[in-house]
A and B are shown apart, each in its own frame.
Chain A
Amino acid sequence: MKYYVAGGTFAFIGAVVILMVMSALEPARMESFTQSYESRRIEEGAAIYESSCRPCHGPQGGGTPLGPALNRANLFNGDYLNAIGWSGTLADFLSSTVASGRPLPTIGTDFPQRMPTWSESFGGPLRIDQVENVVSFILNWGERAVVGIEPTETTDDLMMGSDIFVELPEGDVAAGQVLAEQTLGCTACHTLTAVGPSWEAADGLPGMGVRGGIRIQQDNYTGNATSSDQYLIESVVETNIHIVEGFQPNIMPNDFGERVTLQDMADLLAFLKTFE
């Protein structure tokens, strides 16, 4: 009996002591969770950006001919918001734009498409919390955007440049596929949508792997390629030298020569040649 009472009293006092220790630690714990929760919003937002925003706004937010850059300094230093007369915060501006899109082009811009609505509230696919996550991700560019982006990737590989006659190393199809589908996002326009010519064989034309052979024979061909392979390389690095009928210049970025290495180009070429 004595031991029971002693044990019970000890347990009770122990419980009270633990509660006191806990209440002392709670503020720090809550703060730490808040921070990690904000960080996870950025992670989630990055994943959504990768699948939904990247095709138009570029992999690192640098913009493409389809959509403006998001990592630019004037977005974060307030100049842009002043120019358009937005009175709320940048976060409000971003979440409103992501949620409800843009029905009209912004004055002074000339993008071929309007930003669609993304929030479920306006018929888009994203929940409200997902829109907020994307906003957190975009806001995370702020630091680097204001001080200017420093290139952090260093590579010993030679960049491709715009010489379509350069000798390429052995290409790897799988690596090329990754480049086309993920790293560079080519398929967003060339397979999934009809923004650029489809790589698949269609309308009496063969697949992109051999189509160059036909193109360079055409009378209206304005490029320098002398073979199907060179035509493909040219299409990647000199995008405006020859515009296929039915498409507009400047839609495809003209800077792939500075973005891909010789090896990348070889891989990409190997992958493209699988479309017959």
Chain B
Amino acid sequence: MRIPRPKILSLPFLDDIEEKGVVKASTDLADDVVTRVTSGLNITDIRGVLRGDPAVRPNPRLTPHAEGFWLHMKPTYYNNLMDGLYPTFRLGWLATFFLVWETLTGLYLMIFYTPSPLVAYENMLNILSNVPFGRWMRDTHKLGGELMVLVVVFHMVRTYITGSYKRPRQFTWATGGILLILTLFVSFFGYLLPWDQLSLWAVTIGASTAEATPFIGREADLLMRGGPEIGANGLLRAYLIHVILIPIIMFIFLGIHYYKVILHGHSLPPGVEEPGVDTARKVPMNVRTYFMPKILTRELVYVAGLTLIMLVASAFTLGYHAPLEPHADNLVTPLHTTSPWYFLWIQGMMKLGDKFIFGALIPFGIVFGTIVAWPYIEVGRNRRYGKRRIGLSIAASSIVLAAILTYMGTPWFGVETSPDQEAIAILLPQTSPGPLRLADWNDIPFGTYSASEWESAPTRTTSKLLKMFDRELDHARDNPIYGDVEGFMVVEDWQSDLKKITVRVVWVDPETGTPGEFSEIFFFHRDSDYGQGE
């Protein structure tokens, strides 16, 4: 007979050990902890999920959806028609992935960043030269941001084509539209933070449209830039908008968006329901695909695959790298400067005329307003493609129009530049390193070379550069206001390991006979190595 131990301290685990032995008590404790953490799945259940075993009854895999926080946001089961790639292409999940990706990489970058014009650019150089994984974090943050814009747009296009925005999901669409706008703007304000020429001028062009707002244009512009030109205040504001204001609003709208998806269920492909009927919410037992294990596995595979892709994309020198141009300078506007690519359509429209109408009213008032309010405007209940010819035609023509306007936003449309400057910019572009900076230092020997005699240049590199230069000069030669056009490249020994390269275009005005000249000087150091991803 056991003598009861006097209880000084009441520890249930000790009692358990006494009762069941150490091994059994420990496994029971572990099981209990896991069940609590997963809100309802014990170790055996998780093993079953991972092995793809059929669920036992009552199904413990439903509990986390009912009792846990995270899975509360995910449907417990999907219709069999919705568990594959078609019709959603999992674009919503992809967009969520990128939001989380951007948050995590952004937090890492925040550690090494101070939003001040005095040090912001130095911070970039420090991130590139002194922070482990710094270059990759910067690259993947930038790439992820741009891909997120694409993914959100594709998600929206898909939803539009399948008519999933129609009743009862109008509000889900509206929150999605707001998330699209927020995505564009969070990316846009992030542009400014590196404080290089690209940042400053892309944002300056974008911000100048704020000035076109009626009545409060000047105030809106001042408020956003923090002064007549973007300086310390403007940078700090852009930073706070980028890291606090828009992310908070985005997470709120993401919550609403997800909640609405649970509430209404995934809308089924347009062909399977009677027109005007929505049966997505009630999924019959025989066509259910449970979230666990199938959907969960696929979503996790997406995450693993995308992480791998994002790593491969920027991990090594060959791959995508976020650009870093020279330090921001309000006095020097680089040739060929543009707004970010997803706002080029606005820049294209602004070339058409009035800044207020084409830069503010149409894009921000009409286009974004229509996108958000579309399900309340187009109220037809039928989701069949054949019955939505007008709606689908409007969408298709809008996409074509956006593509045309984007082209019009580029420097190749409607911008008058002089061919002499263009010819030099072909060797020394102002928005990217370009062929001369990327050339091998040793392959450009000292001397004076003329572009038209590229064939007799001493090295292949020099000959290639001069040929490019000469080809571009042909535009000037075709232009009647230039006579006797010739290009020169003068390479001088300037300092230890430093060459002075003068690229020069000379011509004669055919009417007056006065000579014209335009040149740019590039100092080239042996070790400047522009080709390592920045």
Interface residues of A (CB under 8 A from B): 1-2, 4-5, 7-9, 11-12, 14-15, 18-19, 21-23, 25-26, 29-30, 32-40, 42-44, 46-47, 50, 60, 127-130, 137, 140-144, 152-153, 173-174, 177-178, 182
Known: A8-B301, A42-B523. A129 touches B130 (CB 8 A): no
* Contact between B529 and A39, CB atoms less than 8 A apart: yes
Q: Name the A residues within 8 Å of B524 (CB-CB).
A: 43
The residue from B504, B525, B532 contacting A43, defined by CB atoms under 8 A apart: B525
* Contact A8 B133, beta carbon cutoff 8 Å: no
- Residues facing A in B264-312 (CB within 8 A) are 293-294, 297-298, 300-301, 304-305, 307-308, 311-312
* B498-532 interface bits toward A, Cβ cutoff 8 Å, 1 = contact, 0 = none: 10101010100000000101010111111111101
- Considering the chains assembled together, what is the distance between the CA atoms of A214 and B243 in angstroms? 71
Q: Report the minimal beta-carbon distance from B255 to chain A, rounded to whole angstroms.
A: 27
Return the chain A residue nearest B50 by Cβ: A5
Q: Interface 1/0s, chain B 311-335, versus A by CB < 8 A?
A: 1100111000000001100000000
A46 to B492, CA, bound (A): 13
CA distance A42 to B446 in the complex (A): 19
Binding stretch for chain A, among B11-19, B118-126, B169-177 = B118-126
Would A37 and B125 be within 8 Å (CB), given that A11-B304, A32-B529 are in contact? yes
Q: Is the CB of A129 within 8 A of B122?
A: yes
State how many angstroms separate the Cβ of A28 from the closest Cβ of chain B.
11
- B308 touching A11, Cβ below 8 Å: yes
Pairwise interchain contact A33-B128, C-beta atoms closer than 8 A:
yes
- B114-155 interface (Cβ within 8 A of A): 118, 121-122, 125, 128-136
The one of A4, A40, A144, A178 in contact with B525, judged by C-beta atoms closer than 8 angstroms, is: A40
Say yes or no for B413: interface residue by CB 8 A criterion.
no
Cβ of B494 < 8 Å from any Cβ of A?
yes
Which of chain B's residues have a CB closer than 8 A to the CB of A1? Answer: 52, 293-294, 297
The 10 closest A-B pairs by CB, nearest first: A46-B523, A8-B301, A39-B525, A11-B304, A174-B515, A39-B528, A36-B529, A39-B527, A34-B129, A33-B129
Select one of A11, A177, A178 contacting B307, CB under 8 A: A11
* A39-B528, A140-B498 known; A4-B297 Cβ under 8 A: yes
CB < 8 Å: which of B326, B446, B530 contacts A44?
A: B326
Contact A40 B130 (CB under 8 A): no
Which residues does chain A contribute within 8 Å of B504, judged by CB atoms? 178
Query: In the complex, which residue of chain A has the Cβ closest to the Cβ of B492?
Result: A153
- Verify B495–A137 contact, CB threshold 8 A: yes
Given A1-B52, A1-B297, A37-B129, 6 more A-B residue pairs with CB atoms under 8 Å apart are A14-B308, A30-B129, A30-B132, A39-B526, A143-B496, A174-B515
Q: Which chain A positions have C-beta within 8 A of B128?
A: 30, 33, 37
Q: Chain B residue with minimal CB distance to A175?
A: B506
**Shortest distance between the CB of B185 and any CB in chain A (Å):** 29
Chain B residues with CB under 8 Å of A2's CB are 52
8 Å CB contact of B305 from A8, A47, A140: A8
Would you call B534 an interface residue if the criterion is a C-beta within 8 Å of the partner chain's C-beta atoms?
yes
Docked-complex contact A36 and B528, CB < 8 angstroms: yes
Contact (A15, B133) CB under 8 Å given A42-B498, A46-B523, A141-B495: no
Binding site for A on B (CB under 8 A): 50, 52, 118, 121-122, 125, 128-136, 293-294, 297-298, 300-301, 304-305, 307-308, 311-312, 315-317, 326-327, 446, 492-498, 500, 502, 504, 506, 515, 517, 519, 521-530, 532, 534
CB distance from A134 to the nearest CB of B (A): 12
In the complex, are the beta carbons of A152 and B446 less than 8 A apart? yes
Question: A40 to B528, Cβ gap below 8 A?
Answer: yes
Provide 24 A-B residue pairs closer than 8 Å at the C-beta atoms, listed in order of the A residue. A11-B305, A15-B308, A18-B308, A19-B311, A22-B136, A22-B315, A23-B132, A30-B130, A33-B129, A38-B527, A39-B525, A40-B525, A42-B528, A43-B522, A43-B524, A43-B528, A50-B521, A137-B495, A140-B498, A141-B496, A143-B496, A174-B515, A178-B504, A182-B502
Contacts of A8 in B (CB 8 A): 297, 300-301, 304-305
Closest chain B residue to A130, Cβ basis: B327
Please measure, in the bound complex, the distance between the C-alpha atom of A9 and the C-alpha atom of B7, giving whole angstroms. Answer: 50
- In the complex, are the beta carbons of B446 and A140 less than 8 A apart? no
B493 and A4 contact, CB distance less than 8 A: no
C-alpha spacing A21/B515, complex, angstroms:
58
Q: Which residues of A contact B495 (CB under 8 A)?
A: 42, 46, 60, 137, 140-141, 144
Q: A21 to chain B: which residues have CB within 8 Å?
A: 315
Once bound together, how far apart are the Cα atoms of A87 and B298, in whole Å? 67
Q: Among A21, A39, A50, find the residue whose CB has the most chain B CB atoms closer than 10 A.
A: A39
Q: Shortest CB–CB separation between residue B476 and chain A, in angstroms?
A: 15
CB neighbours of B134 from chain A (8 A): 30
Q: Provide the bound-state CA to CA distance between A34 and B326, in Å.
A: 16
B121's closest neighbor in chain A, by CB?
Answer: A129
Q: How far is the CA of A43 from the CA of B500 in the complex (A)?
A: 9
- Give Cα distance in the complex from A190 to B317, angstroms: 50
Closest A-chain residue to B329, C-beta based? A127
Nearest chain A CB to B397's CB is how many angstroms away?
A: 39
Within 8 Å by CB of A26, from B133, B293, B529, lies: B133
Q: How far is the CA of A35 from the CA of B316 in the complex (A)?
A: 18
CA distance A141 to B312 in the complex (A): 42
Q: Which residues of A contact B500 (CB under 8 A)?
A: 46
Q: How far is the CB of B139 from chain A (nearest CB, A)?
A: 12
CB distance from B284 to the nearest CB of A (A): 23
Chain A residues whose CB sits within 8 angstroms of the CB of B316 once the complex forms: 22, 25
- B515 proximity list for chain A (CB < 8 A): 173-174, 177
Do A36 and B527 touch across chains, with their CB atoms under 8 A apart?
yes
> Whose C-beta in chain B lies nearest to the C-beta of A48?
B523
Please give me the residue from chain B that is nearest to A9 by CB atom. Answer: B304
B90 CB to closest chain A CB, in angstroms?
A: 13
- Contact of A29 with B135 in the complex, beta carbons under 8 Å: yes
Given contacts A4-B298, A37-B129, A129-B122, contact A60 B517 (CB under 8 A): no
A11 close to B312 (CB less than 8 A): no
Among B122, B131, B305, B523, residue most surrounded by chain A Cβ atoms (within 10 Å): B523
Least distance between B291 CB and chain A CB atoms (Å): 14
Contact B326 A11 (CB under 8 A): no
**How far does the alpha carbon of A43 sit from the alpha carbon of B527 in the complex, in Å?**
10
Q: Using Cβ atoms and an 8 Å threshold, which residues of chain A touch B312? A: 18
Measured in the bound complex, the distance between the Cα atoms of B497 and A137 in whole Å is 11
- CB of B301 within 8 A of CB of A26, answer no
Q: What residues on A are CB-neighbors of B446 within 8 Å? A: 152-153
Task: Point out the residues of chain A lying under 8 angstroms from B136, CB to CB.
Answer: 22
- Complex CA–CA separation, A40 to B118 (angstroms): 19
Residues on the B chain within 8 Å of A19, using CB: 311
Interface pair B496/A140, CB less than 8 Å apart: yes
- Could you say which residues of chain A place their CB within 8 Å of the CB of B294? 1
CB distance from B201 to the nearest CB of A (A): 17
B494 touches A5 (CB 8 A): no
Residue on A nearest B311 in the bound complex, by CB: A18
A153 to B132, CA, bound (A): 44
